[in-house]
Amino acid sequence: MFTLDFSVININDIYMIGLSVLFHCVCLVVSEFLRRRFGYGGNFTRKFIHVTVSLWGCWVFYAFADKRMAIVLPVVFILMNLNPIRKRILHIAHIDNDYHPGMLYYPVSLFLLVWFCWVGEYRFIAVISLLNLGLGDSAAAVMGSRFAKKIYKVGEHTKSYLGSFFMLAVCFVTTVLTLVYYLPEFSSADVGIAFLIALGVTFMEALSVNGMDNLSVPMVSAVILSFFYIK
């Protein structure tokens, strides 16, 4: 007979889920307010949420005691961002926002990183991967859309050289700083690995379309980091 063992549930994790829900609701309201107040497009809302969710994802590893509780919200987000369900939720909330597949890929990446990098010594892999996605990809999108003059095409999608440069720069700096924080001994070899990661994720972001970079960028980061640092 199947039974639920509620004794394994940490009450603090329940509080963290509630706090996380509140945090995401506030972020969504703030992003929607800014979008309507200043006339930003739907891309602004997505990137604003990307940054806040990536920072939340880094916090998850230290706020939750059980990874099964930590993946509750990523799973909920995956279900909510399935196209039919998302359209219905936005209609009920009276929010005008087109469906974008990247909104589904993002929580999928978060789920995979939390599940496979939960062990303490591997957490820096997830942190770097999330920051590269949240900060690097957002920097590329914002700077490229506002200031880029030279562009290139990937299929029917427009990319910019300026956006790719900022992606490379932000991911490199983010990776170096995170490695400095986590590694007991940081060397010039780690700088080279950081540049390789930044180059790899920039290349993947440039080639990815339809929001696929929300999956490819963190996965490439995680694969390269795992290759060099998991023994």
Q: What is the 3-state secondary structure (H, E, C) of 11-31?
A: HHHHHHHHHHHHHHHHHHHHH
Confidence at residue 97, expressed as pLDDT on a 0 to 100 scale: 53
Query: Is the separation of the CB atoms in 125 and 222 below 8 Å?
Result: yes
d(CA 29, CA 219): 29
d(CA 210, CA 56): 24
Confidence at residue 47, expressed as pLDDT on a 0 to 100 scale: 79
Query: Does residue 3 lie in a domain region?
Result: no
Confidence at residue 25, expressed as pLDDT on a 0 to 100 scale: 86
Q: Which of 169, 105, 125 is nearest to 143 (CA)?
A: 169
Query: Does residue 200 lie in a domain region?
Result: yes
Query: Is the separation of the CB atoms in 138 and 51 below 8 Å?
Result: yes
Q: State which residues form the domain around 215.
A: 10-229
Query: Does residue 51 lie in a domain region?
Result: yes
Query: Is the separation of the CB atoms in 54 and 23 below 8 Å?
Result: no
Query: Does residue 68 lie in a domain region?
Result: yes
Q: What are the CA-CA distances from residue 206 to residues 140, 141, 190, 202, 211 (Å)?
A: 10, 11, 24, 6, 11
Query: Does residue 1 lie in a domain region?
Result: no
Confidence at residue 45, expressed as pLDDT on a 0 to 100 scale: 73
Going residue by residue through the chain (231 aa), what tens digit of pLDDT does each one get?
445 454 567 889 999 999 998 998 888 888 878 777 877 766 677 778 888 989 999 999 999 998 889 999 899 888 877 765 555 555 444 445 555 677 788 889 999 999 999 987 889 999 999 999 999 988 888 887 777 677 777 776 777 888 889 999 999 999 999 999 999 899 999 999 999 999 999 999 888 878 788 899 999 999 999 999 987
Residue with tokens 């039974």, as numbered in its chain: 3
d(CA 202, CA 91): 35
DSSP state of 220: H
Q: What are the CA-CA distances from residue 123 to residues 35, 41, 118, 141, 159 (Å)?
A: 34, 34, 6, 27, 31
Residue with tokens 């009276």, as numbered in its chain: 94
Residue with tokens 């956006």, as numbered in its chain: 163
Confidence at residue 180, expressed as pLDDT on a 0 to 100 scale: 95
Query: Does residue 4 lie in a domain region?
Result: no
Confidence at residue 5, expressed as pLDDT on a 0 to 100 scale: 52
Report the domain count for the chain.
1
Confidence at residue 85, expressed as pLDDT on a 0 to 100 scale: 52
d(CA 146, CA 140): 10
pTM here?
0.85
Query: Does residue 5 lie in a domain region?
Result: no
Query: Does residue 95 lie in a domain region?
Result: yes
Biggest CA-to-CA distance, the chain: 65
SS3 229: helix
Q: What are the CA-CA distances from residue 87 to residues 25, 41, 80, 94, 221 (Å)?
A: 17, 17, 9, 10, 31
Q: How many CA atoms lie within 13 A of 30 on its CB side?
A: 10
SS3 154: strand
